[in-house]
């Protein structure tokens, strides 16, 4: 006895798990240097190393995101606690960025924008945005919501206390 559907061909679309237009489609020649920020692509990743000898040049994904004004991370900080502790909280945000950016050149803050009752921060990567949200929650608890976009190539974080 044949099971239902046996012998029928099922065509399926094979879809990438992640579709990020800022991810390199082909491997870059090594070393490659970003003429805007100075990051260097070597050993398969972007670093802050210096390129030995002559390097190829291309604008890195973070600099392209900044130029296109298309952030991967959005963080909103609001509430009375934020207003009362603004300097401390923003120092933590910038310390998290410094630490992350020193290891991963593609993770940067793009902009800090004043909004009614708080600030909006945009980042070039989801990891930095998530790291900032995690650091805020560890330091001051509060309420945090996390929403990933399609294929997890963007994230929106709301934090308040």
Q: Compare 3 and 53 and report the one with higher pLDDT.
A: 53
CB 124 within 8 A of CB 62: yes
Q: What is the pLDDT of residue 26?
A: 78
Averaged pLDDT, 61-73: 96
> Other C-beta atoms within 10 Å of 7: how many?
6
Q: What is the pLDDT of residue 6?
A: 53
| Cα–Cα nearest to 148, from 96, 72, 69 | 72
Please give the model's pTM, rounded to 2 decimal places: 0.84
Helices 126-140 and 86-103, axial angle in degrees (round to 10): 140
Averaged pLDDT, 131-140: 97
| Cα–Cα nearest to 28, from 11, 42, 12, 9 | 42
Q: What is the pLDDT of residue 46?
A: 96
- β partners of residue 42: 45
Q: What is the pLDDT of residue 51?
A: 86
pLDDT band at 138 (very low <50, low <70, confident <90, very high): very high
């Amino acid at each position: 006895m044949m099971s239902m559907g046996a012998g029928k061909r099922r065509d399926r679309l094979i879809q990438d798990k992640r579709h990020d237009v800022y991810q390199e489609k082909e491997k870059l020649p090594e070393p490659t240097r970003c003429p805007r920020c100075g990051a260097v692509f070597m050993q398969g990743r972007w670093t802050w190393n210096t390129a030995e000898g002559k390097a190829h040049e291309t604008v890195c994904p973070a600099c392209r995101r900044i130029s296109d004004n298309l952030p991967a991370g959005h963080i909103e900080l609001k509430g009375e606690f934020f207003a009362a502790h603004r300097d401390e909280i923003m120092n933590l945000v910038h310390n998290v960025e410094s630490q992350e950016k020193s290891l991963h050149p593609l993770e940067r803050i793009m902009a800090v924008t004043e909004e009614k009752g708080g600030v909006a921060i945009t980042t070039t990567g989801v990891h930095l945005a998530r790291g900032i949200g995690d650091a805020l929650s560890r330091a001051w608890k509060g309420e945090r919501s996390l929403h990933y976009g399609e294929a997890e190539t963007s994230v929106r974080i709301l934090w308040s206390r």
